[in-house]
Amino acid sequence: MSNEAVLHDNHSHEHAHHDTFITKYVFSQDHKMIAKQFLITGMIWAVLGGFMSVLFRLQLGYPDSSFPWMEDLLGKWAKGGHITPEAYYALVTTHGTVLVFFVLTAGLSGTFANFLIPLQIGARDMASPFMNMLSYWFFFAASIIMMSSFFVQTGPFSGGWTAYPPLSALGDASPGSKSGMDLWIISMALFVVSSLLGGLNYIATILNMRTKGMSMTRLPLTIWALFFTAVLGVLSFPVLLSGFILLIFDRNFGTSFYLSDIFVNGVGALPNEGGSAILFQHLFWFLGHPEVYIILLPAMGMVSEILSVNSRKPIFGYMAMIGSLFAIAILAFLVWAHHMFVTGLNPFLGSVFVLLTLLIAVPSAIKVFNWLTTLWRGNIRFTPGMLFAIGFVSLFISGGLTGIWLGNSALDIHLHDTYFVVAHFHIVMGVASMFGMFAGIYHWFPKMYGKYLNNTLGYIHFWVTIAGAYMIFWPMHYEGLAGMPRRYYDFSIWESFKQFQDLNRFISVVSIMVFAVQLLFLFNFFYSIFKGRKVTTLNPWKSNTLEWTTPINPGHGNWVGEIPEVYRWPYDYGKDGVDFTPQTTPVGEEESQH
């Protein structure tokens, strides 16, 4: 039972000999190739999702202008170069779904869990490479089905990414509620299967397949973060699946789990009675809140690692970092109803959720202060990856602080469903995790492809993105405080919101600029894969972790010969005057204890 590593050893060598194009690039069971597949699929989705936001930002910024090219592109969805309200809602919904699930869940933890777990814990591959491959292909199928919902007659689902009934339960509720929603549910169900297969694999790999000497307290923080991410996914996605199964029955088999008495003008009373729409929201947010941390934790882990490597200092408070990750993971399951303060939730229950929600500030603050103290007096190298990591900390602080506002049920009555919420979650969850993802890509690109990304383009990418992110979302706080509701198609018909017309236009212009800079990053990415500067040393960042002990372009099986043994934690930077001491260096006799 203890010989898994040996078994895999044989297994992987066997494979290395007869790789065809199909087994190497398409149905690959190599975790590194699967990671790249996740990354590139995620990038395609990110571009599509970002482009959708440009389209609806144009509507919000220029409600009176018309864009003839839009009609060429979208056809009947943009008659006269003017996006229709139905298309607007479909775009908002798909933008949310795609970015939350496909980019920041599958694209982020799919990429980095697959890539980093075996490399950093010292394993030849995942526990089950086959399941790992299935995980990607389920995600791929989910992607195709989600994509196909753009091409059905009535368009994609348009009731918001949260899919609340009755918009999602009654086929006639909105144009996308029939076939658009069918495809949406099927796609999401496949996505749940994909994340379950992936998550089980990550957990089993981290627990069972660590190399000799790699005890749990010698794991890099990336691995700890990915571990808790996988646990969150495995325990919370099934609840969403149950919620969806009940929803499917409501849609197709005449049940009323989520539907109470509904009277439709011109149709009369629907036969449904006795259900509760709040139940769906409970089930959805029981996943939905852990989902926020599924998105955020991998970014936190990677940022911890990158900050430490590039400050040439040990991470401050390693155990506290693990403890706070654990606390966040637990609390993630206990606070879901803070999304539902104004639904008719019991106010007393709401106050308990306020308390639990505000508790999250404690582990979050521990993490922030540990990052800052890691930077403190460090010998900082401002690589693009490091800049994105610092940017993550900045965004996490500014977005996290508004979370304390929104966590109060009394304040939330005013702020709920306004642009304040949009600003909050885009900064803390969307852009911050994006920054974690960028940091990870810049940092591990040399390991992925054996090339460097272009630094100048990286700096331009960083500065425009962080300035743009703040310019887009900072003003939204003021709009939200003034009561401007989210998800509205056109604000120009209200006297009270007319004052924000210029501001909205400004936000739209900046968002187009930020989108353009992401295309620059894409260019950098694909150009560097083929034409980038070659990596010539094994350990370009002078890092301690195990992935840099593999060859520059590791094959399937990662290490040639024995897997190295580990003797120390991964954060011995600047110890006893030595710049860095890799994990594989045995502890010397003279060495001081830390």
Partner 1 sequence: MSHTATHEAHSGGGTKEIIKVTIILSVLTIVELILGFWMMGITEPGFRLAIKGTIVILMMAKAFYIVAYFMHLKHEVKNLIMTICVPLFLFVWFITAFLYDGNSFKTLRNRYDKHFKEQSTIKVPAKAEGHSEKKSAE
Partner 2 sequence: MSTTTTATTTNLWGGGKSPFNVEYGKLMMWYFLMSDAFTFGAFLISYGTIRFSTNGWPDPNEVFRSFPFAAEGVHAPLVFVSVMTFILIISSVTMVLAVQAGQNMDKKAVVRNLILTIIGGIAFLSCQAWEWNHLFHEGAWWGRNPFMNADGTASSTNFTNYFFTITGFHGFHVFSGVIINIIMLIMTLADKFEQRGHYLMIEKAGLYWHFVDLVWVFVFTCFYLI
- Look-up of token digits 């403890």: 323
231, 240, 321, 453: which one contacts partner 1 (CB under 8 A)? 231
68, 75, 274, 586: which one contacts partner 2 (CB under 8 A)? 274
* Total number of residues that touch partner 2 (CB under 8 A): 61
- The 8-class DSSP code of residue 578 comes to E
Q: Is 3 in the site for partner 1 (CB under 8 A)?
A: yes
Helix pair angle (179-208, 129-148), 10° resolution: 160
Report the run of H or E that residue 201 belongs to, with start and end.
helix 179-208
Identify what 344 binds: partner 1, partner 2, none; CB under 5 to 8 Å per kind: partner 1
Q: Is 346 in the site for partner 1 (CB under 8 A)?
A: yes
CA atoms within 13 A on the CB side of 179: 10
Q: Where do the DSSP E strands lie in 267-343?
A: 268-269
Q: Which of residues 269-328 bind partner 1 (CB under 8 A)?
A: 271, 273, 276, 278-279, 282, 286
Q: How far is the CB of 130 from partner 2 (least distance, A)?
A: 12
Q: Is 539 in the site for partner 1 (CB under 8 A)?
A: no
Annotate each residue in 71-110 with x if it binds partner 2 (CB under 8 A) or - if it does not, as one string: ----------------------------------------
Nearer to partner 2, 65 or 217 (CB): 217
Q: Is 246 in the site for partner 2 (CB under 8 A)?
A: yes
Q: Is 579 in the site for partner 1 (CB under 8 A)?
A: no
Nearer to partner 2, 209 or 432 (CB): 209
Nearer to partner 2, 73 or 216 (CB): 216
Report the run of H or E that residue 579 belongs to, with start and end.
strand 578-580
Nearer to partner 1, 3 or 456 (CB): 3
- Look-up of token digits 């491959």: 133
Identify what 218 binds: partner 1, partner 2, none; CB under 5 to 8 Å per kind: partner 2
Burial of 303 from C-beta contacts in 10 A (0-12 / 13-18 / 19+) = buried
Please state whether beta strands 573-575 and 268-269 pair in parallel, antiparallel, or not at all (unpaired). Answer: unpaired
3-state SS track over 463-498? HHHHHHHHHHHHHHHHHHHCCCECCCCCCCCCHHHH
Helix pair angle (111-121, 221-252), 10° resolution: 150
Q: Is 85 in the site for partner 1 (CB under 8 A)?
A: no
Rg of the chain taking only CA atoms, in angstroms = 24
* Total number of residues that touch partner 1 (CB under 8 A): 24
| Position 11, amino acid | H
Q: Is 6 in the site for partner 2 (CB under 8 A)?
A: no
Q: How far is the CB of 270 from partner 2 (least distance, A)?
A: 11
Q: Is 271 in the site for partner 2 (CB under 8 A)?
A: yes
How far is the C-alpha of 505 from the C-alpha of 138, rounded, in Å?
Answer: 40
The encoded tokens of residue 201 equal 């694999």
Instruction: Name the region of 558 (left: φ>0; alpha: ψ -120 to 50; beta: rest).
Output: left
Q: Which of residues 320-339 bind partner 1 (CB under 8 A)?
A: 333-334, 337
In contact, 366 and 317? CB cutoff 8 Å: yes
Nearer to partner 2, 53 or 374 (CB): 374
Report the run of H or E that residue 263 belongs to, with start and end.
strand 263-264
Q: How far is the CB of 31 from partner 1 (least distance, A)?
A: 23
In contact, 146 and 102? CB cutoff 8 Å: yes
Nearer to partner 2, 218 or 313 (CB): 218
Q: Is 594 in the site for partner 2 (CB under 8 A)?
A: yes
Q: Is 178 in the site for partner 1 (CB under 8 A)?
A: no
In contact, 257 and 269? CB cutoff 8 Å: no
Q: Is 536 in the site for partner 1 (CB under 8 A)?
A: no
Q: Is 249 in the site for partner 2 (CB under 8 A)?
A: yes
The encoded tokens of residue 489 equal 């198609």
How far is the C-alpha of 549 from the C-alpha of 559, rounded, in Å?
Answer: 8
Q: How far is the CB of 546 from partner 2 (least distance, A)?
A: 11
Q: Is 2 in the site for partner 1 (CB under 8 A)?
A: yes
Q: Is 205 in the site for partner 2 (CB under 8 A)?
A: yes
Alpha-carbon separation of residue 149 from 93, 95, 136, 179, 249 (angstroms)? 12, 13, 20, 8, 21
Q: Is 593 in the site for partner 1 (CB under 8 A)?
A: no
Give the chain's length. 594
Q: Which of residues 252-271 bind partner 1 (CB under 8 A)?
A: 254, 260-261, 271
Q: Which residues bind partner 2 (CB under 8 A)?
A: 1-2, 4-5, 121-122, 127-128, 131, 196, 200-201, 203-205, 207-218, 234-239, 241-243, 245-246, 249, 253-257, 271, 273-276, 279, 282-283, 286, 318-319, 566, 568-569, 587, 593-594
Q: Which residues bind partner 1 (CB under 8 A)?
A: 1-3, 231, 235, 254, 260-261, 271, 273, 276, 278-279, 282, 286, 333-334, 337, 344-346, 349, 352-353
